Structure 1
Amino acid sequence: MDRSQALPKGIDRQTLIRLTRDSTYELILTFVLLFGVTTIVRWVIGPSLVSHAIPDIHAELWIVGTAVALLLAGLILSPPGRISGAHTNPAISFAMWRFGVFPGRAVIPYSVAQLLGSVLGVIAARGVWGSIVSNPPVAFAVLQPATGWSAIQVFVTESAGMAVIVFLVGICLSVHRLAKFVPWIIGALVGTGIAVLGTASGGSLNPARQFGPAIASGQTHFLWVYLLAPMVGAAFAAWLRLWIQKRRQVLTHRLCGTIG
């Protein structure tokens, strides 16, 4: 039988090769992101010179947010990031589809790759930094909401945070002169979200950000919220941007501003 006949309907061989390549890049990029996040948490919030010198959790979260912002921008601007878009976030992949610049058939492969990369990233961090990563206060960089917060409160906060990010990214990607600044805008927004929401909802804003740490640590009580809330926020923001900017198209799913 012709191999092409075994491919999913509507997908040719070259498209499948590109999708496999790009999904693999997303796995690698998300792996690096979660390895980096876990490493940052280990050295800023875990036992270290930084945590001893700066014991205030709010100040520590601003340091973590700044470091993650730079890491995200670097991943988006990296060669693999320029090819796949460096979404590293299922909610971003979903939003790019709703913006009309990313194929719907790629959302699930990207999301699976991002979640797998998340798990592998935190496991690798445990291997590099040792048992300190698996013990509190690091605990694989898993996020927990503030004491007394309900699942509904976390859901609403995380949804709103993701909605703000997706809406602003969509606006910037629809204006040619702003598109090149999107890596830094995304980094700044996510970094600010970490600093502001870290002691409240946790400041995940990314299903992949929480998935690996939750699986590795076994702390999965709120995992469904952290997985679903950003997707809901992204869906709402994509609809809102389309409603406001009916005649202005998003330029690209490649968040570095590369047109294509």
Structure 2
Amino acid sequence: MSTTYLPTATAFLPDEPAPVQAALSRRLAVEFIGTFWLVLGGCGSAVLAAGFPKVGIGLLGVSLAFGLTVLTMAFAFGHISGGHFNPAVSLGLWLGGRFSGRFLLPYWAAQVVGGLAGAGLLYVIASGSPTYSSSVNGLAANGYGAASPGGYSLLACFVTETVLTMLFLYIILGATDSRAAKGFGPIAIGLGLTLIHLLSIPVTNTSVNPARSLGPALILGGVALQQVWLFWVAPLLGAALAGGSYQWLTGSEGAEPVASVAQRISRATTTIGDVTTSTPAPRPEA
């Protein structure tokens, strides 16, 4: 077996397999599944488990649930589709040079349908309880003003969603940069989403993901559907700000797709505190 010599390592490692470019149909399928899981797991934890008598998981548990949905799906399917599961992420990655614009609308469609399917299944499950009422318990829909968990204003909610989505995209772009530590991208992204929820559930119920917002809103209708525009406009704006500025901020060429080439060990260009070459050292004589 051939080997690649890494200048910062003390041993030889087997050559890494070339990344496989999955067919678009497979990428869309896993984007559907990932977004479905995010809505079912994240919103489901809020609706079914957050306030369960005596052993409810509370806001901390819901925040962790959303982070874990992204972390698990990024590890499971990131190497297939890039692990977006979020229209704002797809937009930011395109503007950041990590994703082809010709796939943007198909990804959005798969994500929206996945979010709707997740919300639909959650509604079926929740409706099985005699104490559930969609008007009282909802589906963890997002909102502002009277529909905000803490009664926050439209401006406060718009700023929150815009800034937090921008920071989320910075985390994603940075954690999956070819110069970042390898193999840890999904962990950083999942924990980043957890922190975002810890901060903003009281404000908007946390979106930073238009597909996550649209699914519950379409099923609930009413105020949730009337206000869902904000949870498209603000996250997409935040993602565009991050995607458009990341390369300038970091000097990135933006040539690596998320969770694929950028996370291959042989592409490492930094060590902790040191910048090193990305060109392998000459292989010693056998």
Shift of 1:34: 1.2
With over 3 angstroms needed to count, the CA separation of the structure-2 counterparts of 1:46 and 1:216, relative to structure 1, is farther
Q: CA deviation at 1:155?
A: 1.4
Structure 2 gaps of 5+ residues are: 1-20, 268-286
Looking at structure 2, the residues matched to 183 and 250 of structure 1 have their Cα atoms a distance apart, in angstroms, of 19
**How far, CA to CA, are the matches of 1:146 and 1:224 in structure 2?**
18
Q: 1:183 aligned to 2:186?
A: yes
Letter in 2 for 1:223: V
Could you tell me how far 1:45 is from its partner in structure 2?
2.5
Q: Is the 8 A contact 1:180 1:257 kept in 2?
A: no
Q: For 1:118, which of 115, 119, 132 is the aligned residue?
A: 115
Written as runs of structure 1 = structure 2, the 5 A alignment for 1:150-161 is 150-161=153-164
Q: How many residues were matched structurally?
A: 237
Question: What is the alpha-carbon root mean square deviation over aligned residues?
Answer: 2.5
TM-score scaled by structure 1? Answer: 0.81
What is the DSSP-based 3-state SS (H/G/I as helix, E as strand, rest coil) of the residue aligned with 1:178? Answer: coil
Structure with the greater alpha carbon radius of gyration: 2
Shift of 1:104: 0.2
1:64 aligns with 2:62: yes
Gaps of 5+ in 1: 1-14, 55-59
Provide closer, same or farther for how the CA distance between residues 214 and 179 of structure 1 changes in structure 2, counting only shifts above 3 A: farther
SS at match of 1:213: helix
- Give 1:31 deviation, angstroms: 1.2
Query: What code does the residue aligned with 1:234 have?
Result: A
The code of the aligned residue for 2:84 comes to H
Give the counterpart of 1:174 among 172, 177, 180. 177
Check 1:247–1:209 CA distance in 2 against 1; reply closer, same or farther (3 A cut).
Answer: closer
Q: Does the C-alpha gap of structure 1 residues 48 and 85 become closer, same or farther in structure 2, counting only changes over 3 Å?
A: farther
In the superposition, the TM-score normalised over structure 2's length comes to: 0.75
Which residue pairs with 2:258 in the alignment?
Answer: 253
Q: Does 1:197 align with 2:200?
A: yes
Hey, which of these two has a bigger chunk of helix by percent?
1
Alignment CA distance shift 1:163-1:197 (3 Å)? same
Structure 1: how far apart are the matches of 2:179 and 2:251? 16
Shift of the 76–137 alpha-carbon distance from structure 1 to 2, 3 Å rule, reads: farther
